[in-house]
Amino acid sequence: MPTPDIGQRIDLFEAYVARHPQLRLRVSCPSQEFSDLEMAQGVGRWFSCVRGLWESLDVGSQPDLALLMFQAPAVPRSVERYVLGLVPPVGPGDGDRSLRHALLSVDDDSDRHLSEKLLEHPDLLLRVRALVTRARERGQEVEPLSCYQASDRMDELADRLGLDCRETPTRTLDLGSKAGSRQLFRVAGLAHAPGTYTAAFGLPELARELADLTRSHGPGRWLLKINEGYGSGHGLAVVTVTEPTHATALAALRRLSPLTENISRAQFLAGLSANGAIIEQYLGTPPAGEKRSPSALLFIGPGPDGEPGVQLLGTHDQVLGEDLQYLGCRFPASAAYRDAVIAMSLTVAGHLARAGVRGHVGVDFLARRDSDGRWDLRAVELNLRQTGTTHPHRTVRALVPGTWHDDGRLTHRGTEVHYTGTDGLISPAYRGLSPAHVIRALDGRPDLAFDPIRARGVVPHFWTALEPFGKLGATVLGDSPDDCALLQYRFVELLDDLAARATGGRERQHAGTPSP
């Protein structure tokens, strides 16, 4: 149910917005809308809506913004104060940011999507809809519903609130499926791995396609990718085919091995049957070479002339595990292939814009360097939503008033800014640590805390997963990749020290408790 003070927060927020007609209103529901099996992967994944607090930073960097954001479970007030205080005051009209910022929390930590939880509270949604209506009647700008990704459920939520969605219309989501991505790469003329272009829903059909591909490209390893409903590299399986026959391919498919350890063969096949799958050649690391996973983040929105405009936000080198699972990112992508990543991404984004796609777009690539030093770049897939790189990137855009260059770099006061992002600072020892405890410790470490003058330091996130799961994320800003790595290492040392002290304190308290 909604937290007890939610009505008062709405009243105070609306009263302030009504007194300041220059403010524009944004409502945010950062619900990840993946399949339930996808959401079950990773630690504390169902709490991932808390990553949406990057938008709270916008309240600091954009003095004309009033933000109302839904969360479940509740975000501690200590975190809200910390986030709102990260951006220095931008002028005398900045005022009290907490009055332009309302976190509307539902007291529900169940394993369900935030959107599902909100739709169970029609009175809350009606109240927010009334707030939106009155803002429009006053002539204030009301932005579309900000969300992590579009879905039928998100469309229903937006309709209940009287809003459109900021991310791409659901009718365009097929363009971001695995099959849709490959079709668009082919149309746009982007280099990509051999494979299929339409989703197949059964092993016999996939076996025929796999046999044909083996006949054309030779024996080897192939990836099966579930067409939709999965992210972060979880809907993948690998098969090895030695002969270009239907029987050999079918036997290989029946032995397929999901790359994600927590997804069984039976679960993968169920996902395949429900959502279809495509086949793509597995491109390994060349002998005496290397393989990387760069990506580009873009935003498609209205341009100055009212037509859709494409904005390149940034490029990253993604950090992937051996199972191709997304672990984090480094900004910017390597200069060795960054220009090609930008050019290919802008090309495909232009096609997407003409097809009606809007909002955040991620374009993933595979870069392989041969022993002769030359890089080969292939487009891999599209994500028509916010991605793993969106949170750290939007965090840095809000925190650093620097210059974003066309070549994908960021400079601040003449110095190039680098950053890394991760959701993976996880340890059982961190369970029980409170966000307030970490914030106090970080405030006492000027060598680690974010310094807006130097554009350097650690900005934690994923706060609600800390106490129950021992999980925290961080965006780390530095003046070089090595500087970022050093800051992250020292932040983990700080967390380890806090956990050791907390454990020692609990043990001492337990030791001093009289026996019953």
Indicate the residue among 234, 249, 281 that finishes a domain: 281
Q: Tell me, yes or no, whether 17 lies in a domain.
A: yes
**Domain shared by 157 and 77, yes or no:** yes
Compute the average pLDDT of residues 367-389.
95
- What confidence tier does 1 reach under pLDDT thresholds 50, 70, 90? low
Q: Tell me, yes or no, whether 390 lies in a domain.
A: yes
Q: Tell me, yes or no, whether 298 lies in a domain.
A: yes
Pairwise CA distance, residues 246 & 80, whole Å: 58
What local confidence, expressed as pLDDT, does residue 444 receive? 97
Q: Tell me, yes or no, whether 172 lies in a domain.
A: no
Q: Among residues 508, 272, 482, 478, which one has the least CA distance to residue 392?
A: 478
**Domain shared by 208 and 243, yes or no:** yes
Question: Looking at beta carbons, which pairs linking 489-494 to residues 24 or more positions away fall under 8 Å?
Answer: 490/447, 490/448, 491/425, 491/442, 491/448, 491/458, 491/460, 492/425, 494/441, 494/442, 494/445, 494/448
Res. 505: pLDDT tops 70: no
Indicate the residue among 131, 149, 167 that finishes a domain: 167
Domain hosting residue 254, numbered range: 194-281
Share of the chain above pLDDT 90, in %: 87
Q: Tell me, yes or no, whether 174 lies in a domain.
A: no
What local confidence, expressed as pLDDT, does residue 96 receive? 83
Compute the average pLDDT of residues 123-152.
97
Q: Tell me, yes or no, whether 459 lies in a domain.
A: yes
What local confidence, expressed as pLDDT, does residue 92 receive? 67
What local confidence, expressed as pLDDT, does residue 283 receive? 94
What local confidence, expressed as pLDDT, does residue 302 receive? 85
The total domain count for the chain is: 3
**Domain shared by 437 and 332, yes or no:** yes
**Domain shared by 145 and 53, yes or no:** yes
Pairwise CA distance, residues 439 & 459, whole Å: 10
**Domain shared by 135 and 36, yes or no:** yes
For 262, phi then psi, to 5°, come to: -85, 0
**Domain shared by 270 and 159, yes or no:** no
Residue-wise pLDDT tens digits, 185-228: 999 999 999 999 999 999 999 999 999 999 999 999 999 999 99
Write the burial class of residue 94 (CB in 10 Å: 0-12 exposed, 13-18 middle, 19+ buried): middle
Pairwise CA distance, residues 324 & 230, whole Å: 13
Compute the average pLDDT of residues 112-116.
97
Compute the average pLDDT of residues 151-157.
97
Compute the average pLDDT of residues 312-331.
92
User: Do the beta carbons of residue 319 and residue 295 sit within 8 Å?
Assistant: no
What local confidence, expressed as pLDDT, does residue 5 receive? 86
**Domain shared by 322 and 269, yes or no:** no
Share of the chain above pLDDT 70, in %: 97
- Amino acid letter for position 447: D
What local confidence, expressed as pLDDT, does residue 246 receive? 96
**Domain shared by 277 and 294, yes or no:** no
Res. 10: pLDDT tops 80: yes
What local confidence, expressed as pLDDT, does residue 322 receive? 81
What local confidence, expressed as pLDDT, does residue 510 receive? 32
pTM of the model: 0.93
Residue-wise pLDDT tens digits, 219-268: 999 999 999 988 878 899 999 999 999 999 999 999 998 999 889 999 99
Res. 509: pLDDT tops 50: no
**Domain shared by 428 and 298, yes or no:** yes
**Domain shared by 248 and 207, yes or no:** yes
Pairwise CA distance, residues 354 & 164, whole Å: 19
Res. 512: pLDDT tops 70: no
Q: Tell me, yes or no, whether 310 lies in a domain.
A: yes
What local confidence, expressed as pLDDT, does residue 508 receive? 36
- What confidence tier does 516 reach under pLDDT thresholds 50, 70, 90? very low
**Domain shared by 116 and 218, yes or no:** no
Indicate the residue among 281, 315, 345 that finishes a domain: 281
Q: Tell me, yes or no, whether 41 lies in a domain.
A: yes
**Domain shared by 67 and 145, yes or no:** yes
What local confidence, expressed as pLDDT, does residue 273 receive? 94
Residue-wise pLDDT tens digits, 289-312: 999 999 999 999 987 777 789 999
Compute the average pLDDT of residues 65-83.
96
Using DSSP's 3-state secondary structure scheme, residue 170 falls into helix
Q: How does DSSP assign 298-357, residue by residue?
A: EEEEE-TTSSEEEEEEEEEEEEE-TT--EEEEEES--TTTHHHHHHHHHHHHHHHHHTT-
How big, in percent rounded to 5, are the helix, strand and coil portions of the chain? 40, 25, 35
What local confidence, expressed as pLDDT, does residue 456 receive? 98
Average pLDDT in the chain: 93
Tokens coding 493: 């040392």
